[in-house]
A and B are shown apart, each in its own frame.
Chain A
């Protein structure tokens, strides 16, 4: 099973990198771009075949390591 974890900054947490990207896009002539937020995607394969167990495992991974829940949200995608 493939897992994909999207880690993004929580609302209200300043994102200086997102801001820099937004300014760079503006400088390139891409107008009307707002609210740029930078995050990360982490992909991996799981040996677990049961989707419910796999989700619980990935949830625990996010809580323990993949995301810092002080500032980050995460979303989990699973593909059989």
Chain B
């Protein structure tokens, strides 16, 4: 499997995801600067977390219109797997590759802590190494993670099984108390219609090694390598 991590000015999780991918794949991912318009064929493209372009205008809005993004959108259209984590999720919504948008957290605070999220399905490239309804614990770190979509879009997402993860308690119960940021229906991550593109606010790359305090994020990358090799 080959992977590319797109690096924007202001990305700050690009190296974390590089390490997680290196460990899972046994080889280096390509690191691609945002000004590139072409790069080697890969099986997975990662849009990392951070504060691309200082979050100016709207989080992810400038990155979504940067030179490399045309190529990312073109390849996503051909079925290449694309993963957007945190700021990368915001970019995916801004490009329209996944529906909805991410608004300021309901309590207006920046949230940086571990949360529990429920795996809605194991039938995807990204979640094959998890069990359906499994609760996993990985961190969030965001100011704008409040998922919003209109009612018709939400209904369509549910019908097609495009909700990937929901905030839950440690036992996997999806409750209002377990919702850290006001996201509609506790949504923490969504797929595109073909489930080849995933955007999620939590950071699996930050707890993919026991040395970091947990490894619930590791099966995420191991599953991707198995599915795409």
In the complex, how many residues of chain B place their beta carbon closer than 8 angstroms to a beta carbon of chain A? 20
> Which residue among B58, B61, B107 has the maximum number of chain A CB atoms within 10 Å of its CB?
B58
Q: Which of B83-127 contact A (CB under 8 A)?
A: 93-94, 99-101, 103-108
B94 pairs with A17, CB closer than 8 A? no
Q: Does A41 contact B (CB under 8 A)?
A: no
Of all chain B residues, the one with the shortest Cβ separation from A17 is B104
By a CB distance below 8 angstroms, the chain A residues around B150 are 12, 70
A70 pairs with B101, CB closer than 8 A? yes
Q: Does A53 contact B (CB under 8 A)?
A: no
B103 pairs with A71, CB closer than 8 A? yes
Main SS of chain B's interface residues? loop
Q: Does A68 contact B (CB under 8 A)?
A: yes
By a CB distance below 8 angstroms, the chain A residues around B146 are 16
B104 pairs with A16, CB closer than 8 A? yes
A16 pairs with B105, CB closer than 8 A? yes
0/1 interface trace, chain B 160-186, chain A, CB 8 Å (1 if under): 000000000000000000000010000
A14 pairs with B94, CB closer than 8 A? no
In the complex, how many residues of chain A place their beta carbon closer than 8 angstroms to a beta carbon of chain B? 12
* Known pairs A65-B57, A65-B65, A70-B149 / 19 extra A-B pairs, C-beta < 8 Å: A12-B150, A13-B103, A14-B103, A14-B106, A14-B148, A14-B182, A16-B103, A16-B105, A16-B106, A16-B108, A16-B146, A16-B182, A17-B104, A17-B108, A64-B65, A70-B93, A70-B101, A71-B103, A71-B148
Offer 30 A-B interface pairs, CB within 8 angstroms, sorted by A: A12-B150, A13-B103, A13-B148, A14-B103, A14-B182, A16-B104, A16-B105, A16-B106, A16-B107, A16-B108, A16-B146, A16-B182, A17-B108, A20-B108, A64-B65, A65-B57, A65-B61, A68-B58, A68-B61, A68-B94, A68-B101, A70-B93, A70-B99, A70-B100, A70-B101, A70-B148, A70-B149, A71-B101, A71-B103, A71-B148
**A binding-site residues for B, Cβ under 8 Å:** 12-14, 16-17, 20, 64-66, 68, 70-71
**B binding-site residues for A, Cβ under 8 Å:** 57-58, 61, 65, 93-94, 99-101, 103-108, 146, 148-150, 182
